[in-house]
Amino acid sequence: MKPLVQVEGLRVVARNDAGVEFPIVKGVDFAINQGEVLALIGESGSGKTTIALSLMGYARNGCRIAGGSVRIGDKQVLELDDAGLSGLRGRTVAYIAQSAASSFNPSRTLMDQVVESAAIHRTLSRAKAEAKAVELFRALALPDPEHIGARYPHQVSGGQLQRVMAAMAFITDPALVILDEPTTALDVTTQIEVLRAFRNVVRQLGTTAVYVSHDLAVVAQMADRIVVLRDGEIRENGETAQVLEAPAHDYTRCLLAAAEPVERDIAIAAPAPQRMPVPLLQIRGLCAGYGAIGRDGLPAKRILTDIDLTIERGATVGVIGESGSGKTTLARVVAGMVPSARGQVLLDDAPLPDGSHGRTREQHQRVQFVFQNADTALNPAHSIGAILARPLSFYLHLRGDARRKRVLQLLDLVKLPASIADRLPGELSGGQKQRINLARALAAGPDLILCDEITSALDTVVAAAILDLMAELRRELKVSYMFISHDINTVRAICDEIVVLYAGQKVESRPRAALGDAPFHPYTHLLVSSVPKLEMGWLDTVCARGAAHLPTLAPLPAASDAALCGFLPRCGVRIDGLCNRLPPPRQQLPNGGEILCHHTPAALIPLQAPLQRFEEVA
Amino acid sequence: MSSSALASFPFFRAVAGAWSTMSPAALLGMAIVVFWLIVTLAGPSLSPHDASAIVDPDVFGPISWQFPLGTDYLGRDMLSRILYGARYTVALALAATVLASATGTLLGLYAAVAGGWFDASLCRALDALISIPSKMFALMMVASFGSSVPLLIITAALGFMPGAYRIARALAVNVQALDFVQAAKARGEGMAYIGCVEILPNMIRPVLADFGLRFVFTVLLLSGLSFLSLGVQPPDADWGSLVRENIGGLSEGAPAVLMPALAIASLTIGVNLLIDNLRGKRKDAR
């Protein structure tokens, strides 16, 4: 049988600032059979999105398809004129972009936008298109499928929007669907729902799809074939099982290794975090938020509620939670960028003043903040040398040669060549920028470094190198880290203690040694079991375990003001009459951790039995 | 010295780079602006006659070899008058615009970094100033204090400062939300450092483009005032006054009234061409 899609010798070139063209896709061949899901996998810059877009005959601004052929069905895509391409896009080939939030028009309802391509291509009448959209919403497991179309994009969550976008792509029954990193921007607990919905729809409709991703574990759940790309060339092309279990190419093996959670050697060379009488940082009963301060002394929009946290000298505490859980705000309060409303932050038993104005330069120096996004955290108008020199002269009053020497030492410390000092941030790669970001914090000679999702924007291989570097710096310089992440594998790699935030509450803390041991707080359990694993069929196993129906709650006579459990609306083991009535108590776990839950640890263990699967890998 | 040896010097490379990336329209604008700057500096020594000398018995004389731009209503050489007048028009406008843009930008930066009540009250005060039309404001100033060169500079500077402030503040507010400014704040840096070292270099291009635009407005305002005989006073004359005093020649189509108007037009068009390219380059770079 002839494959549905045949790509031969595809070449794409890009033009740089000087007007010189250079190749970014260098002669790529592959084929996709009817009903097959093909994954394009590689690091950023490997050309995976460029190849996916060229299937629609499209090249991004500054790029040009220079040669080769793309055949879909009986159409030669690259030979089509503009009218032909308009007929192809959205009708024969549909595209689901990475960020649904920026792909929707905020001023039109979801239904208007979903049926738009059916109207443009005149495949269905409006009424029929709407009926079909509702069917798709149902198939994608969207809540209230009959009425969700009347909402506007800001009225649904990120994961739901991503599924609505899939409905938009499927409405014209396209021959080929391109999914470009559709779950990368989502939290793991949301990602699993979206993946499940996508896979069910793809199976039901027998769609042919191209799945672009950097995440092997996600691809293992979705794809029939995997194409591994690097620098615009195909390194390996094979069945999913073969690529995962018997990779033929070194680069594939390297990717597989980086995707496995690695525990960095943190405890051996480093002196175990010393139990000094006074811990380095203590947070007591912290509440913080944004907006006007109300009569009760709390801000209008409360982000953090009653947080207690201790960081010992030389220890690394990981803070995990989904977006919006308040983990960045916590670090910003410690750094003095956000004022606290209640509670105390103590550094060596001395309270840190609220906000940045009351702090002394020495207090600033001892707590350094590393921003998530190195692209914006480095001033594009300053050279790397100047960026690193500033904290040296600001805190340590270094001048002239001594400062220059220290800058070079710092560059050496983060394993960058000295020649980089004269460059501007715009000339560096993402991983290099993140190293500079880290080096700037180290320049101050701090006791505590607050790391806000510093590996999230990086490729797996680069992120692994940054984590190695952090573990090494910790051994050499004996700094403490507060390491914030949404990725449990990253946190597990380098942290001594793990703290889980949900909706601004600290729901759990536990030492790293006991990370895989039940009992968990129900949210942590959901989080841990949602992390995709590098094995085929994992998604089916998890789905079989199933999203059990949530226990129903009786409506309360009057919602009491007490701080109820923040996880209540999503909790699978909630108890009517208890969880929705009383604030949860803090319970000590046998392994040294604690959870914020009504269930006793002993009662939770049998509920979380499937988690033994997690243990095997950990 | 070969061109490659020249190119090894960073300065020459930068200049060569700037020239090669400019569009033809920008080069034309640049040429016009450079031409008028030279005239401003060297005008008096280039002029064939004294500006106030009556050299032609005829008034509103036509273009001739002796008087390339004709003569004015008293029989003075128009070329010389324009060369002398350039000093007033270009230098006055330049001084006023530098004053307006510099104070506006610094105030805008300070307001963006300081925020709070200082920002709010400064915004409202300058909004009040913006709401007065610039011509009306200038008329009021001249009527109250009489016309003199320093007063004209201050009037134009005051009139155009609120606009410069608004633009600078808007730019600075955008830049200061970026992480590197937050990083500087978390480091405990002072306001002056954050404003001048972290923020200013990242907004200088649009501020310069705004400077050019404001220069054009200032030229037009000062010329307008002179046309109403409220600007530069005789015997000195800027281009606006030249148009005014030769307005009688309009019915005869005398070059004396056209030439200063053309000078104003070419200066403003030249500056505009240059600015438009400065702003356009960013778009291309995307």
Shared domain for A144 and A171, answered yes or no, is yes
pLDDT at B6 over 50: no
pLDDT of residue B164: 92
Residue A541: which domain range? 523-617
Give the integer Cα–Cα distance in Å for A498 and A492. Answer: 8
Q: In whole angstroms, give the CA distance from residue A103 to residue A20.
A: 31
Do A99 and A40 share a structural domain? yes
- B179 and A373 within 8 Å at the Cβ level: the answer is yes
Q: How many domains does chain B have?
A: 1
Would residue A265 count as lying in a domain?
no
User: What's the DSSP call for residue A423?
Assistant: S
pLDDT digits (tens, 9 = 90+) for A17-53: 677 888 888 889 999 998 899 999 988 778 888 899 9
Render pLDDT for A303-361 as a digit per residue (tens, 0 to 9): 888 889 999 888 899 999 887 788 888 998 998 888 888 888 998 888 888 776 788 88
Kindly identify which residue of chain B lies nearest to residue A359, measuring between CA atoms.
Answer: B188
Residue A275 lies in a domain: no
In this structure, of A352-356, A392-396, B166-170, B254-258, the range with the lowest mean pLDDT score is: A352-356
Residues A298, A202 within the same domain: no
Q: B205-222 pLDDT, tens per residue? A: 888 888 888 988 888 888
By CB atoms closer than 10 A (0-12, 13-18, 19+), residue B235 is exposed
| Residue A559: predicted pLDDT | 52
Q: How far is A335 from chain B (nearest CA, A)?
A: 6
pLDDT at position A267? 47
Residues of B in contact with A365 (CB under 8 A): 188
Least confident window among A204-208, B91-95, B282-286? B282-286
Please list every residue in chain B whose beta carbon sits closer than 8 Å to the beta carbon of residue A338.
Answer: none
Query: Is the predicted pLDDT of residue A273 greater than 60, yes or no?
Result: no
| Residue A267 within any structural domain of the chain | no
> Which residue reads 């380095």 in tokens?
A280
Q: Looking at beta carbons, which residues of chain B come within 8 Å of A422? A: none
CA distance A37 to A12: 23
The CA distance from A591 to A517, in Å, is 8
Task: With beta carbons less than 8 A apart as the criterion, state whether A304 and A504 touch.
Answer: yes
Give which of A379, A396, A449 to mutate to test B binding, by max B Cβ within 10 Å.
Answer: A379
- The three-point CA angle A129-A131-A136 to 5° equals 90
Which residues touch A559 (CB under 8 Å, ≥6 apart)?
none
Residues A483 and A569 reside in one and the same domain: no
Report the chain B residue with the minimal C-alpha distance to residue A361: B188
A:B CB pairs within 8 Å: 47
What angle separates helix A126-139 from helix A188-205, to the nearest 10 degrees? 120
pLDDT for A557? 54
One domain, residues A56 and A121:
yes
Contact A356 B185 (CB under 8 A): yes
Kindly report whether the peptide bond that precedes residue A446 is cis, defined as omega within 30 degrees of 0: no
Query: Residues A436-452: pLDDT tens digits?
Result: 999 999 999 899 999 98
Measure the CA dihedral B48/B50/B53/B54, to 10°: 20
The helix-helix angle for A188-205 and A522-530 (nearest 10°) equals 50
Q: Which residues of A touch B198 (CB under 8 A)?
A: 379
Asked if A371 lies within 8 A of B179 by C-beta distance, the reply is: yes
Confidence bin at B282 (pLDDT 50/70/90): very low
Cβ–Cβ gap A376/B286 under 8 Å: no
Question: A227 and A41 in contact (C-beta within 8 Å)?
Answer: yes
A550, part of any domain: yes
- What pLDDT does residue A356 have? 65
pLDDT single digits (tens) B259-270:
888 888 898 888
Q: What is the Cα–Cα distance from A160 to B138, expressed in whole angstroms?
A: 59
Look at residue A254 and tell me if it is in a domain. Answer: yes
Helices (H), A3-153: 48-54, 82-88, 110-114, 116-120, 126-139
Residues A507 and A527 in one domain: no
A380 and A298 part of one domain: yes
Environment class of residue A555 by beta-carbon count within 10 Å: exposed (0-12), middle (13-18) or buried (19+)? exposed
pLDDT of residue A545: 57
CB B246 within 8 A of CB B263: no
- Subunit contact B202:A444, Cβ cutoff 8 A: no
Q: Is residue B26 part of a domain?
A: no
Q: Specify the amino acid at residue A544.
A: A
Do A25 and A86 fall into the same domain? yes
- Report the CATH number that the domain containing residue B58 is assigned in CATH: 1.10.3720.10
pLDDT at A269: 42
In this prediction the ipTM stands at 0.75
Structural element, H or E, at residue A509: strand A505-511
In this structure, the answer to whether residues A141 and A230 fall within a common structural domain is yes
Give the phi and the psi of residue B72 in degrees, each rounded to 5: -95, -165
Note whether residue B232 is domain-resident.
yes
pLDDT at residue B95, rounded to an integer = 92
Within a domain: residue B164?
yes
Please give the pLDDT value at position A359: 86
Structure tokens at A77: 């895509």
Whether A560 shows a pLDDT value over 60: the answer reads: no
Inter-chain touch A61–B286, beta carbons under 8 Å: yes
Task: Tell me what pLDDT residue B167 has.
Answer: 93
- A592 and A511 co-located in one domain: no
Sign of the C-alpha dihedral computed for residues A486, A488, A490 and A491 taken in this order: positive
Among the listed residues B194, B191, B108, the one whose alpha carbon sits nearest the alpha carbon of residue A379: B194
Count of alpha carbons within 13 Å of B36, Cβ hemisphere only?
28
Prior bond of B235 cis (ω within 30°): yes
Q: Are residues A445 and A580 in the same domain?
A: no
A185 within domain boundaries: yes
User: Which of A456, A480, A515 is the C-terminal boundary of a domain?
Assistant: A515
Q: Please state, rounded to an integer, the average pLDDT across all residues of chain A.
A: 84
B198 in A contact zone (CB under 8 Å): yes
SS3 assignment for chain B: CCHHHHHCCHHHHHHHHHHHHCCHHHHHHHHHHHHHHHHHHHHHHHCCCCCCCECCCCCCCCCCCCCCCCECCCCEEHHHHHHHHHHHHHHHHHHHHHHHHHHHHHHHHHHHHHCHHHHHHHHHHHHHHHCCCHHHHHHHHHHHHCCCHHHHHHHHHHHHHHHHHHHHHHHHHHHHCCHHHHHHHHHCCCHHHHHHHHHHHHCHHHHHHHHHHHHHHHHHHHHHHHHCCCCCCCCCCCHHHHHHHCHHHHCCCCHHHHHHHHHHHHHHHHHHHHHHHHHHHHHHHC
A376 and B180 in contact by Cβ < 8 A?
A: yes
Beta bridge partners of A5: A32, A72
Domain membership flag for residue A328 = yes
Residue pair A141/A135 in contact (Cβ under 8 Å)? The answer is: no
Question: For residues A418 and A440, what is the distance between their CA atoms, to the nearest angstrom?
Answer: 15
Instruction: Name every chain A residue with its beta carbon within 8 A of the beta carbon of B179.
Output: 371-373, 376-377
Positive or negative, the CA dihedral B249, B250, B255, B261 is: positive
Query: Given B183, B198, B286, which is nearest A371 (Cβ)?
Result: B183
B285 and A381: CB-CB below 8 Å? no
CA triplet B85, B88, B92: central angle to 5 degrees? 160
Nearest residue on chain A to B194, alpha-carbon basis? A379
- Specify the CATH number for the domain of residue A378: 3.40.50.300
**Residue B23 covered by a domain:** no
**Considering only CA atoms, which of A117, A583, A511, A503 is closest in space to residue A307?**
A503
State the Cα–Cα distance between residues B101 and B107, nearest whole angstrom: 10
Q: Cβ(A572)–Cβ(A522) under 8 Å?
A: yes
A381 interaction partners in chain B (CB closer than 8 Å): 201-202
Is position A268 within any domain?
Answer: no
Q: Is the pLDDT of residue A610 over 60?
A: no
How much is the average pLDDT of A583-595?
A: 84
How close B105 gets to chain A, by Cα (Å)?
18
B48 CB within 8 Å of a chain A CB: no
Q: What average pLDDT does the segment A397-426 reach?
A: 89
Residue ending a domain, among A462, A496, A515, is A515
Do A510 and A569 fall within a single domain? no
What is the DSSP pairing of strand A75-76 with strand A21-32?
unpaired
Which chain B residue lies closest to A373 (C-alpha atoms)?
Answer: B179
- Range of the structural domain that residue B241 is part of: 46-285
